[in-house]
């Protein structure tokens, strides 16, 4: 159903896409069918992430055909996270649903996801769970299971399928977090760190890719793991880096210092017979003390960076009175 520009749509569907020309008409037609059947006022925001095929002309055509379809086109391919970021910025619905463009996610899931966020349960975020998955078992499904287990234990968020493209959010959640780099894999973690606690999961249908090819290869697991370390680090120490580098630096420096003391004692005991530079302890002491000092210096530099960050005093206020 189309909505007047004066009204908020109740639902925004954000779709990042990169070279998916064949799937788009079918996808939009399906979304429209589902949303019309439920009388949702909705908008579909299609973010073309610098496609080199005909995707953009298809989006333009669809936005003529369906007034609820809006298109944003990047100058070049930036990645899925930047595409989601732009989609989130543009989204105006009370509930925001993200979905891949390749028809692997089914629009039939929309009503239930919508109800989980909007209804009594009132989830801040609901993540899809592709329990039965139609991707390559060896290169994707197995590593993904392992990867999700690591995610669960490191982040404490009990989701089976953190990186599922099909997710639903309260509007406030997507307006409070900032997806960047390749952090689309960790949106639930970003949401948790922003203070949104009601994170749920819904088993969703998954379908084999009908057209085109996957845009992510095996490097996703390496990059994903590195991003996981980054996100854990920045969430704990992002605003107080010295608490990390200082402690590390102090320990390393002190360890080196203990070796120095030991060496001095030995030197006093054995005098001229004691070949200082022949002893492993000498080198351990040297490297430890240099590394300790470097950790400290990194801490100071990081503090200077944080001090200059534009968002150093950015907090999400939930409520105020009077």
Residues in contact with ligand UDP by CB under 6 A are 16-18, 20, 49, 77, 79-80, 83, 100-102, 104, 165, 214-216
Asked whether the beta carbons of 165 and 98 are under 8 A apart, the reply is yes
Question: Which two tokens mark 140?
Answer: 């994707």
The one of ligand UDP, Mg ion, none whose footprint includes residue 80, by CB under 5 to 8 A per kind, is ligand UDP
CB of 80 to ligand UDP, least distance (A): 4
Q: What is the Cα–Cα distance from 177 to 188, expressed in whole angstroms?
A: 10
Closer to Mg ion by Cβ: residue 145 or 207? 207
CB of 215 to ligand UDP, least distance (A): 3
Residue 199 CB neighbour total at 10 angstroms: 18
- Site residues (CB under 5 A) for Mg ion, limited to 104-143: 104
CB of 14 to ligand UDP, least distance (A): 11
Closer to Mg ion by Cβ: residue 9 or 16? 16
* Burial class for 39, CB neighbours closer than 10 Å (0-12, 13-18, 19+): exposed
CB of 151 to ligand UDP, least distance (A): 15
Closer to ligand UDP by Cβ: residue 65 or 214? 214
Member of 21, 102, 124, 227 binding Mg ion (CB under 5 A): 102
CB of 100 to ligand UDP, least distance (A): 4
CB of 159 to ligand UDP, least distance (A): 16
- Interface mask toward Mg ion for 178-217; x: CB under 5 A: ----------------------------------------
How many residues sit close enough to Mg ion to count as binding (CB under 5 A)? 3
Closer to ligand UDP by Cβ: residue 214 or 287? 214
CB of 96 to Mg ion, least distance (A): 20
Question: Which two tokens mark 271?
Answer: 């005098």
Closer to ligand UDP by Cβ: residue 79 or 188? 79
Closer to Mg ion by Cβ: residue 167 or 170? 167
Q: What is the Cα–Cα distance from 193 to 272, expressed in whole angstroms?
A: 59
- Regarding 49 and contact with Mg ion (CB under 5 A), the answer is no
The one of Mg ion, ligand UDP, none whose footprint includes residue 215, by CB under 5 to 8 A per kind, is ligand UDP
Overall residue count recorded for the chain in this entry: 322
Q: Which stretch binds Mg ion (CB under 5 A): 100-108, 191-199, 229-237, 272-280?
A: 100-108
Closer to ligand UDP by Cβ: residue 104 or 127? 104
CB of 246 to Mg ion, least distance (A): 44
Would you tell me which residues interact with Mg ion (CB under 5 A)?
Answer: 100, 102, 104
């Amino acid at each position: 159903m189309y909505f007047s520009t004066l009204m908020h749509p109740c639902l925004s569907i954000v779709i990042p896409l990169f070279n998916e020309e064949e799937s788009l008409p079918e996808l939009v037609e399906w979304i429209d069918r589902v949303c019309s059947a439920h009388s949702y006022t909705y908008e579909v925001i299609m973010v073309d992430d610098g496609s080199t095929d005909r995707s953009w002309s298809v989006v333009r055509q669809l936005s003529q055909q369906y007034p609820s379809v809006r298109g944003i086109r990047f100058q070049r391919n930036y990645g899925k996270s930047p595409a989601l970021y732009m989609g989130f910025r543009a989204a105006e619905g009370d509930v925001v649903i993200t979905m891949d463009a390749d028809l692997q996610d089914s629009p039939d899931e929309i009503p239930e996801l919508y109800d989980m966020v909007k209804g009594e349960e009132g989830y801040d975020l609901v993540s899809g769970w592709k329990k039965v998955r139609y991707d390559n078992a060896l290169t994707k499904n197995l590593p993904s299971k392992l990867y999700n287990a690591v995610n669960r234990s490191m982040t404490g968020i009990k989701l089976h399928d953190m990186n599922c493209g099909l997710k639903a959010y309260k509007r406030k959640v997507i307006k409070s977090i900032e997806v960047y780099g390749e952090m689309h894999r960790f949106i639930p973690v970003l949401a948790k760190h922003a203070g949104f606690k009601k994170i749920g999961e819904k088993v969703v249908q998954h379908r084999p890719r009908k057209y085109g090819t996957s845009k992510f290869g095996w490097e996703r697991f390496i990059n994903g793991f590195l991003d996981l370390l980054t996100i854990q680090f920045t969430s704990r120490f992002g605003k107080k880096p010295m608490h990390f580098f200082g402690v590390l630096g102090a320990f390393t420096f002190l360890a080196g210092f203990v070796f120095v003391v030991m060496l001095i004692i030995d030197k006093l005991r054995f005098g001229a017979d004691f070949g200082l530079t022949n002893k492993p302890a000498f080198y351990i002491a040297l490297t430890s003390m240099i590394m300790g000092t470097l950790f400290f210096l990194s801490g100071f530099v990081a503090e200077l960076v944080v001090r200059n960050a534009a968002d150093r005093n950015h907090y999400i206020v939930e409520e105020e009175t009077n």
